[in-house]
Amino acid sequence: MALVPNHFLEDHIWHHVIGKHFVKIFAGTGVALSLLFAVTSLWDIKAWVEQFGADKVYFLCLMSAILVGLIPISGPHWVFAVLYFGGVMPFGALLANCIVQDGHGAIPLLAESKLCFIVVKGVKVFVALACGLALWML
């Protein structure tokens, strides 16, 4: 069991993280999910996607999932999860996004070493692309 000083818990966790960021994160996530559900209920995205060929759609989904996964913030993966569970996006694209996406976890690495950040993201893109293409071939 790890012990930390009360000062850390009170000032840094409670006042800073909960006090300053919680409402913004909660509101931002709520707005993003509301917009996503509104768009998916207003437009039949599945029919729009099906008018293109299955190969084109899979490749477009895979590439967009990988590119959005490069953004070092948490949240964009919700779009791909909702589209997958709605039957619009294939599993390989969702998996590729999950492999590349690391939320805010990469921000300290980016601050410490931009080269290491690029190398890590490059490896993740390669693995995601390999997994996504492998599932496409199945």
Q: List C-alpha distances in Å: 31 to 1, 42, 77, 96, 114.
A: 37, 16, 15, 25, 31
Residue 10 scores a pLDDT above 70: no
pTM, to two decimals? 0.68
CA distance 24 to 26: 6
Residue 70: CB partners within 8 Å, gap ≥ 6?
100, 121, 125
- Residue pLDDT, tens place only, 33-84: 787 778 777 877 677 667 766 677 788 888 988 988 888 777 777 788 888 8
- Residue pLDDT, tens place only, 103-112: 778 878 887 8
Band of residue 134 on the pLDDT scale cut at 50, 70, 90: very high
Strands in the chain per DSSP E: none
Backbone angles phi, psi at 76, to 5 degrees: -60, -25
Q: Exposed, middle or buried, 3 (CB in 10 Å: 0-12/13-18/19+)? A: exposed
